[in-house]
Amino acid sequence: MTKLCVAVSVLIFAVATAAAQQSVAPPPRTADSGPSLEATLKFLQDKLRNIGKMNWAVYCHNNIEGDDVSSLFSREKINVTADVPNCRITYHRKEFRDDQLQNDQDFWVNFRNVEVIQVGSGDEMQNRVEARSGHPQISCRVEPSIWIVRVDNLQDEFYFYDEELANRIAKAMLHAVELCGGSNHDPF
């Protein structure tokens, strides 16, 4: 009877171990399968420095009550710097809404901690925000058309007039996450 218990315990442990091994995320890719971390962060630094000040308007319509609301936005990221030893990009963000200063401070994206990177049009992102806020009856449009790369939902957003550039930035950020070991904090 003792031998049977030991055999069953070993079998259960082997099945549990095999299941756990299947769900464990793969280790981060090495620099051999793409640009190095230094090259990736330098690419992000250079592209983000060239964006300059972004200006756009958001026009929203309440489909039930019929009223319209609009706001003017301006956002600029300055002093964008690749921080390779700490696996991050640092920058200063200055933003206005209807000519009122909303933010004027230093930020960073630590690629070791990034979980999600999303890309979408300004219209898509704004309408998602309204729906999540309990306002599905509000529909919005953004002019001019902009593309947003959102890091970890609302941690920060990067704005672009060019969809192709937004997608390239998102791809480089995903590669930085892989190189830094992000998005697989605790695979067990």
pLDDT > 90: percent of the chain: 61
What are the pLDDT digits (tens) for 96-115? 999 999 999 999 999 998 88
Beta-carbon-side half-sphere exposure of residue 161 (alpha carbons within 13 Å): 12
Phi-psi label, residue 174: left if phi above 0, alpha if psi -120 to 50, beta otherwise: alpha
Residues 6+ apart with CB under 8 A from 153: 116, 118
Q: Could you tell me how many residues make up the chain?
A: 188
What are the pLDDT digits (tens) for 142-173? 999 999 998 985 568 899 999 999 999 999 99
Mean pLDDT of 76-101: 95
Cα distance between residue 24 and residue 92, in whole Å:
36
Cα distance between residue 29 and residue 181, in whole Å:
8
Cα distance between residue 175 and residue 182, in whole Å:
10
8 A C-beta contact, residue 38 and residue 106? no
pLDDT > 50? residue 4: no
Cα distance between residue 159 and residue 105, in whole Å:
17
| Confidence class for position 32, pLDDT limits 50, 70, 90 | low
Task: Determine the residue type at 100.
Answer: Q
Strands of the 117-121 sheet, one edge to the other: 117-121, 147-151, 156-160
> How many of the other CB atoms lie within 10 Å of CB of 151?
22
Cα distance between residue 75 and residue 107, in whole Å:
13
Report field, pTM of the whole predicted structure over 0.85:
no
Predicted pLDDT at 128: 87
